[in-house]
Amino acid sequence: MMTLKDLEKVQKTFKEAGQDYQVELESGKIIIVGPSDIVSSEIAVIFSWLLATWVYPRRWGRVFDSAGGFILPDSNLTAPDVSFVRAARLRQSPRYFGELVPDLVVEIKSQSDRIKPLENKILKFIQLGAQVGILIDPDEETVTIYRQEGEPMVLGNADILTVPELFPGWELPISELWPPIFTEAETQE
């Protein structure tokens, strides 16, 4: 069984060797997280940007990308693709991992991911106290919302994502999540 201290030693060894791998700790096992495909990465940037431009002017909390690790109450260390923590719960970011469960966790399916493990990761966050989990599937162009109560809700391109329990008034048309396709005319210099 590996511990957080063991994980920190592995990270230090990687950095000393010039390698900057993202690692997580799950049930005593160190997991090396590979890079995501660029579609998933672009969706993470789009989602984070649209959320952050709503959250920060209102001083509602903090938005984190996939490099932001959280030590959970079950002693696992993980980093959702995008996460949010309310200001009242994290008045100042530590220069360390967050030692709490984010209020919102977002996972974005990469080309090599399977849906069930991502869904299980989100459900674990919900079980540990996250208010909302979102699973974005670029292959199907769907967004599934998980909450502490009720069944998951699947949204498609004609729908609008809202998370009123965390972001009153924020609306995100699902169709805006997908990377644009530029026309030839747009790419002319």
3-state secondary structure of 113: coil
Would residue 188 count as lying in a domain? no
Average pLDDT over residues 123-141: 97
Q: How far is CA 97 from the centre of its chain?
A: 15
In CATH, what number is assigned to the domain containing residue 99? 3.90.1570.10
Same domain, 5 and 82: no
- pLDDT class of 72 with cuts at 50, 70, 90: very high
Average pLDDT over residues 141-165: 97
Report how far residue 107's alpha carbon sits from residue 189's, in angstroms, rounded to the nearest whole number: 36
Same domain, 64 and 84: yes
Weakest-pLDDT range from 40-44, 61-65, 137-141, 180-184: 180-184
Q: Are 148 and 123 in contact (CB under 8 A)?
A: no
**Strand (E) or helix (H) holding 48:** helix 38-58
Range of the domain at 13: 1-34
- pLDDT class of 116 with cuts at 50, 70, 90: very high
Average pLDDT over residues 72-94: 92
Same domain, 47 and 106: yes
Sheet holding 29-33, edge to edge: 29-33, 22-26, 77-78, 70-71
Same domain, 10 and 81: no
Same domain, 83 and 142: yes
- pLDDT class of 9 with cuts at 50, 70, 90: confident
Report how far residue 100's alpha carbon sits from residue 130's, in angstroms, rounded to the nearest whole number: 10
Same domain, 82 and 17: no
N-terminal to C-terminal alpha carbon distance within the chain: 56
